Amino acid sequence: MMTIEADYERFQSEGETMAGELGDFRQRARAYHRLYRHSKGNFAFPLLAAHGALWGAGHMRRGLFVSRVLLMLSPRRGGATARLAMVEDFTNALKEINRQVLIKTYVAYQMTRYHADDPRLAEYVAPELSAPLAACHEARRLGQRLPDEDRRNLFEAAFLFEQDFVVGPSIDAALPQFNWPLVRALAMRPPIGFRYFGPLERLWFADFSDKDERIKRGLQAYDIAERQGWDFTEGALANYPCEKGQRPKFLNAFCRAVCQ
């Protein structure tokens, strides 16, 4: 068996490879899905993170498109390049968050898989996450399903972990540079609608920068998946549009003109 230090470096490198480049949302969604399947369905966080990656890919494209349209319609054309650059920088920050969440989730999963009994594990994975992940691995090895309460607790631990160590600090660092009030306000109110939601179901944000609200909406997403059923939630990954054909054909010429 490799040392805990060597394994950490190995898993970090593997996670970075799996995460790909900023725009590789589908690659990350596939990696998340493999983690969910490997856990025998006990670790729900990567399944919902896969939905987040696939939904986020389309949402960010739409956000950039709307920003360009607003610039075209704005009577104040001065500073358009700088404002668009702010939107692109913020979008790239969100993409990097998506990368880092996958990397840290993968590292935590593998470190607890191989080093659950090592007293130094707390140096690499927060104890609040390592304990429920260790229980997940034990259930997987025994071919068992975690009790519903334990599965939800594991999801919550993983969600809080990524909020504390990735999402929160990254959002806090990126927002002060995003000085376009109208588009910033729109960006902080994303109407999230994953493909396993009901037809009119959305997670409506008042302020995406509010950590407490992000946690509340994340737990709501879990509860919706639980209600819809995990097989249905997993199958809904196939319902996101592919990279090609994201918009109706009649918009293509307009988009080419706007995006020049």
Break the chain into its structural domains and give their ranges. 4-258
pTM: 0.89
| Residues 6 or more apart whose Cβ sits within 8 Å of residue 34 | none
* pLDDT band (50, 70, 90) for residue 197: very high
Q: What is the DSSP string of 190-217?
A: -EE--TTS-TT--EE-S-TT-HHHHHHH
* pLDDT band (50, 70, 90) for residue 138: very high
212 vs 241, more confident = 212
| Residues 6 or more apart whose Cβ sits within 8 Å of residue 16 | 103
Tell me what percent of the residues of the chain surpass a pLDDT of 90: 81
